[in-house]
């Protein structure tokens, strides 16, 4: 009996682990030109969405979580369908529409998860300031990487800010302590799924579209994993990725920007300067120990 829970947990995660291995092989095949990149994205997202839909459908029989699970199931199905039709779609309209549908269904589903309770204003402010720093760093990363002469500067800045906000929501939800770890995992999965869809819309067809596979596939699987009721209290996730991941992303993006010989503009300086007040606000609202 004592070994039943670990063995059951391993059986539950085995299909997802196998799916991740297949996804990695698909990305590798596309990277070496054995498979078109858009086909690899479509197959990987469809596989992850299938696993997530099946797991969520099994949870829909529980009255307490039925409404939330049905909405999250619809969001996962819409995300998988959006990526699946990518090889047949022309233009970005299909991806943009699919992203809007996924976002609407996911927000409604997250709001219906059981156990929601109001948080004190100071706690909400603290969470907001803790997410601002990573958001600025990831927005700066997006701005440095989205260097296309055909893209206007306002659109480029808007996409970079969107990537920063969505990425920060994902990092914040998947790290640190939460009074509802399952709901936090769902939020992180939704954020990663939206991040992957936004990358599909921004990058467009070509080998670079493979960068959308990791957040999209991981997000879909996390949405289903977070909706499963916990059988035992889990440990708090580490907080250090909130600082390390954005900093590492900025360093890599800046190195690529400088190596490509691209000039530094005002938006780059502004986003870099905005990181300073974000760090100061986080320290001011941090609870005393």
pLDDT over 50 (residue 66): yes
Task: Give mean pLDDT, residues 218-245.
Answer: 73
pLDDT of residue 22: 85
Where residue 235 falls among pLDDT bands split at 50, 70, 90?
Answer: low
How far is 24 from 27, CA to CA, in rounded Å?
Answer: 5
pLDDT over 90 (residue 215): no
Residue 204: left if φ>0, alpha if ψ -120 to 50, beta else—which one?
A: left
pLDDT of residue 280: 66
More confident residue, 79 or 244: 79
Q: What are phi and psi of 236, to 5 degrees?
A: -70, 135
Task: Give mean pLDDT, residues 92-117.
Answer: 84
Where residue 78 falls among pLDDT bands split at 50, 70, 90?
Answer: very high
- What secondary structure does DSSP assign to 61-103, as a single string? T-GGGHHHHHHHHHHHHHHHHHHHTTTT--SSHHHHHHHHHHH
Does residue 117 contact residue 226 with C-beta atoms inside 8 Å? no
Instruction: Find all residues with CB under 8 Å of 289, minimum gap 6, and list them.
Output: none
pLDDT of residue 54: 87
Q: What are phi and psi of 68, to 5 degrees?
A: -65, -45
pLDDT of residue 79: 93
pLDDT of residue 30: 85
Residue 284 parent element (H or E): helix 266-285
pLDDT over 80 (residue 9): no
Q: What is the pLDDT of residues 156-204, one digit of tens each?
A: 788 788 888 888 877 777 776 655 677 778 888 898 899 889 888 887 7
More confident residue, 31 or 79: 79
Buried b (16+ CB within 10 A) or exposed e, 138-153: bbbbbbbbbeeeeeee
Nearest CA to 213 out of 8, 31, 9 is that of 31
How far is 181 from 176, CA to CA, in rounded Å?
Answer: 10
Where residue 282 falls among pLDDT bands split at 50, 70, 90?
Answer: low
pLDDT over 90 (residue 76): yes
pLDDT winner (highest mean) among 57-66, 143-152, 196-205 = 196-205
Given CA atoms 250, 252, 255, 260 in this order, what sign does their dihedral have?
Answer: negative
User: How many residues would you count in the chain?
Assistant: 289
Instruction: Find all residues with CB under 8 Å of 22, minimum gap 6, and list them.
Output: 44, 47
Residue 156 parent element (H or E): helix 153-174
Domain ranges of the chain: 13-117+184-234, 121-178+240-289
pLDDT of residue 169: 77
């Amino acid at each position: 009996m004592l070994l039943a829970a670990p063995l059951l947990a391993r059986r539950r995660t085995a299909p997802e682990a196998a799916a991740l291995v297949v996804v990695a092989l698909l990305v590798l095949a596309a990277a070496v030109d054995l498979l078109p990149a858009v086909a690899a994205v479509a197959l990987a997202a469809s596989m992850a969405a299938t696993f997530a839909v099946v797991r969520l459908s099994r949870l829909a029989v529980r009255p307490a979580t039925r409404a939330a699970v049905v909405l999250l199931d619809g969001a996962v199905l819409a995300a998988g369908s959006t990526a699946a039709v990518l090889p047949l779609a022309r233009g970005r309209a299909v991806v943009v529409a699919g992203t809007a549908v996924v976002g609407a269904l996911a927000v409604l589903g997250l709001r219906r998860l059981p156990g929601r309770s109001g948080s004190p204003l100071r706690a909400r402010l603290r969470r907001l300031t803790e997410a601002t720093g990573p958001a600025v760093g990831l927005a700066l990363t997006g701005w440095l990487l989205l260097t296309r002469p055909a893209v206007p500067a306002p659109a480029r800045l808007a996409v970079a800010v969107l990537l920063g906000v969505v990425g920060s929501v994902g990092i914040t939800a998947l790290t640190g302590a939460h009074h509802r770890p399952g709901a936090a995992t769902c939020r992180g999965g939704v954020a990663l799924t939206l991040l992957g869809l936004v990358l599909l819309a921004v990058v467009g067809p070509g080998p670079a579209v493979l960068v959308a596979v990791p957040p999209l596939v991981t997000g879909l699987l996390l949405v289903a994993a977070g909706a499963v009721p916990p059988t035992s209290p889990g440990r708090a996730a580490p907080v250090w990725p909130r600082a390390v991941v954005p900093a590492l992303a900025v360093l890599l993006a800046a190195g690529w920007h400088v190596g490509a010989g691209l000039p530094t503009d005002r938006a780059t300086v502004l986003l870099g300067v905005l990181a300073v007040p974000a760090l100061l606000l986080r320290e001011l609202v941090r609870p005393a120990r």
